[in-house]
Amino acid sequence: MSHTSLLRPSWPALLQRLLAAAAVLLALGGCHRQAVTYAKSEAGVAAPRPFAVFEGPSGRSSRVDLEVARTLEERNRGLMFRERLDANAGMLFVFESEDQHSFWMKNTYIPLDLVFIDEMGEITGVVEEAEPHSLAPMSGGPSRYVIEVNGGWCEAHGVRTGDRVRLENLPPVPAGAEEE
């Protein structure tokens, strides 16, 4: 046996190591859960309603049914002029990119909690009990998504910065349309 055969592994051994490394990478990749899923629509069948699941480190989870504000016009209107919001309902604001997004409560009649969520589904900040009609800008850290729910909902459900949010059944962006 030569010295070079001791330093260089045989092809079967090298292949076995590569396959083992690939299996580890696939297993690790499978542990990461997707933060957003899009509704799959079929002709003649209504798409399932979008919702968010808030998940805390203790295993606690709470669900909110969502209206989605994706365009600039929809985001600008938000929950203005609403006199009520169902107990486990909210509005999801979808932005093109992660940034410091500011909100105000102009023409908003009900107190709201605002939950700021990054691209990976982690809550970066919570503004609780935002005062109706206030023009003061509010932000909760870098976010791609913001969910508005009834004031007091976050406290009642234990929602905190660092918790995770899973967004399910979001309507897909129509072909050829871009978010503004």
Q: What is the pTM of this model?
A: 0.76
The pLDDT of residue 31 is: 42
Given this model, what pLDDT does residue 14 score? 54
Residue 179 identity (one-letter amino acid): E
Cα separation, 115 vs 160, whole angstroms: 9
Task: Tell me the CATH class for 36-170.
Answer: mainly beta
pLDDT of res. 173:
67
Q: What is the pLDDT of residue 85?
A: 96
Q: What is the pLDDT of residue 7?
A: 54
How many C-beta neighbours within 10 Å does residue 114 have? 25
What pLDDT is recorded for position 39?
56
pLDDT digits (tens, 9 = 90+) for 85-104: 999 999 999 999 999 999 99
Q: What is the pLDDT of residue 171?
A: 85
Domain ranges in the chain are 1-32, 36-170
CA–CA separation, 133 vs 118, rounded Å? 26
List, edge to edge, every strand of the sheet that includes 112-117.
36-38, 164-170, 51-55, 61-69, 89-100, 142-150, 112-117, 123-130
pLDDT at 44: 59
Alpha-carbon distance 39 to 19, whole Å?
35
Spell out, as residue ranges, where the chain has pLDDT lower than 50.
1-5, 22-32, 176-177, 179-180
